[in-house]
Amino acid sequence: MMDTEAQKKAVGEAAAALVEDGMVVGLGTGSTAACFVRALGARKLDIVGVPTSIATAELAQSLGIRLGELGETRTIDLTVDGADEIGPGLALIKGAGGALLREKLVWEASKSCLVIGDAAKHVKVLGKFTLPIEVVPFGHKTVHARICDVLAEFEIGIAPILRRKDGQPVKTDNGNLIYDAACERIEEPAPLGAALKSITGVVEHGLFLDLADKALIGTADGVVELEP
């Protein structure tokens, strides 16, 4: 029987086994993606990794993985990343690690995207986990008010909370701020995502829709594969 940590390691290793010599590989962010990066590093392949955060770049470098920048390598063959929730159709909430913008840029530039997670990440409806919304710092309280208006249109009444660490607002790798929205149930992720994205000052949100081609989910008994 595998516990959560063993499940993360198992999906990380299963994902790393799919990487072939010569590939350009998008490297996700978070503890599950780190399991993948470690397993990938152990394979000592001749690949180029495109990291989605400074933390992942540091980890990959420490393992001897050659790095390239988005747009400076040839097309990314495969991106492997974790998620906070994996819902129906492989719709995802991502961004608890604050890397949602770089992650989405890398995912969208990839020929194929694989999401990996432990069993708890697999949900029937998105929204129990908070939805991160990255905003520019300038005038962010005004942007917050607009976000609240949009959420109210989707019958989400709770105001998003500014993400803080040690009392200070968290800055992303891009120098932006994050508001976390407790949506509870996101029945229609596509219109919500589009409405949030239309707000001036919102840089990105953590809904990853129609992006994952496959999921590897860890369960107590082993790794299962899901498709949209």
Chain residues in the site for ligand 5RP (CB under 6 A): 28-33, 81-84, 94-100, 103
Task: Name the residue nearer to ligand 5RP (CB basis): 63 or 148.
Answer: 63
What count of other Cβ atoms lies within 10 Å of the Cβ of residue 2?
Answer: 17
Task: Name the residue nearer to ligand 5RP (CB basis): 5 or 187.
Answer: 5
As measured in angstroms, the least distance from the Cβ of 94 to ligand 5RP is 3
Q: CA 125, CA 4: separation in Å to the nearest integer? A: 21
Structure tokens, 105: 């840029």
Q: CA 101, CA 103: separation in Å to the nearest integer? A: 5
| For the chain, counts of helices (H) and of strands (E) | 6, 16
As measured in angstroms, the least distance from the Cβ of 228 to ligand 5RP is 18
- Annotated active-site residue 108? The verdict is no
Task: Name the residue nearer to ligand 5RP (CB basis): 38 or 146.
Answer: 38
DSSP 8-28: HHHHHHHHHTT--TT-EEEE-
Taking alpha carbons only, the member of 96, 79, 117 closest to residue 172 is 96
As measured in angstroms, the least distance from the Cβ of 14 to ligand 5RP is 15
Q: Give the H/E segment covering residue 50.
A: strand 48-51
Taking alpha carbons only, the member of 27, 89, 88 closest to residue 61 is 27
Of 13, 85, 103, 204, the catalytic one is: 103
Task: Name the residue nearer to ligand 5RP (CB basis): 128 or 146.
Answer: 128
As measured in angstroms, the least distance from the Cβ of 81 to ligand 5RP is 5
Active-site residues, by number, are: 103
